[in-house]
Amino acid sequence: MSLVLVGILSLGVGAVWLAPSEVTQALLAPSSPETRPTAVTIVWDLRLARVLLAALVGAGLAGAGAAFQGMFRTPLADPFVIGASGGASLGATLAIIGRIGGVGVPFAAFAGAMLAVLLVYGITIASGASSATALLLAGAALSTVLSAIVSLLMLMSDRDMHEIFSWLLGGLSGRSWPQLLMSGPPLILGLIGLWFFARPLDALTGGEESARSLGLPLNTARAAVVAAASLTTAAAVAAGGLIGFIGLAAPHIARLFCGSSHARLLPASALVGALLLVLADSVARTALAPIELPVGVLTALLGGPFFLWMLGWGGQR
């Protein structure tokens, strides 16, 4: 219910402000004579797809963050911890430099993120060190290499630097129904998959020895969690670029209300992530109107201090 209320408020804010009653009327009875055609156009053609996409992207990042925090047993894990951000950045950069229009950039970002995660997982398997720590270290190393390549490409392509930099900052400006139709299904599928693996995640949270004693096939369970979380992360990055802090902070907020059982934590994290990103996107497009802030910058500016305060508050309890 809270997400619905926040969504209605978000649909009303912008260059043209609509009252919640107008938004509800436009959503439920768009063909009614009492509904203003302008309100219907604003809600259905300009804002609804973006709000739905923000909710799904926030939910996806938060769900993937909760899964990786449980699997790696560290509160510092986020959805980009095993190379998805570096791969997505490189894919999007190559698409922008290659002048691939339409959904080419999101598709390239999605493909880059998935290929980077597959490469990281393949490296850890080939090396024989299939532990969570090895996966974490391989992801960090590959992310550094891919980020360096992106930086080099930006220096060599001055004409595209602004567009690349704008994408790297993260944002939902200009996103509409095509992006929602492209990223929505894999986001939903990935979140369902993560929830399906809630019990293996509970076992992994207790450590590898504990999980093995419970009869959990570690490699299979870890591969399944990585696949579902990476699918979700890749779809989220393809839709909104690199939006940081949602996947790190939302699971911690959710744990305050529902505990650490992943059967409850994963949907709670997704809900908190959706709320945070819808709110952040609303502020990003209205705070300095007509200038629109990159939502990734806003989530970092607001999320960082809040997360530090939450850690301090939690430490005092």
The mean of the pLDDT values for the chain is: 90
Q: Which domains does the chain have, with CATH numbers?
A: 2-316 (1.10.3470.10)
Give me the DSSP letters along the chain.
-HHHHHHHHHHH-SSS---HHHHHHHHH-TT-TTS-HHHHIIIIIIIHHHHHHHHHHHHHHHHHHHHHHHHHT-TT--TTTTSHHHHHHHHHHHHHHTT--TTHHHHHHHHHHHHHHHHHHHHHHHHT--SHHHHHHHHHHHHHHHHHHHHHHHHH-GGGHHHHHHHHH---TT--HHHHHHHHHHHHHHHHHHHHTHHHHHHHHT-HHHHHHTT--HHHHHHHHHHHHHHHHHHHHHHH----SHHHHHHHHHHHHH-S-HHHHHHHHHHHHHHHHHHHHHHHTTTTTTS---HHHHHHHHHHHHHHHHHHHHHH-
Mind listing the pLDDT tens digit for each residue in 167-188? Answer: 999 999 889 999 999 999 999 9
What are 192-235's pLDDT values in tens digits?
999 999 999 988 888 777 777 777 888 888 889 999 999 999 99
Read off the pTM: 0.94
Could you read off the pLDDT of 50-89 as tens digits, one per residue? 999 999 999 999 999 999 999 998 888 999 999 999 999 9
Whether residue 317 is predicted with pLDDT greater than 60 in this model: the reply is: no
290 cis-preceded (ω within 30 degrees of 0): yes
Whether pLDDT at 92 is above 60:
yes
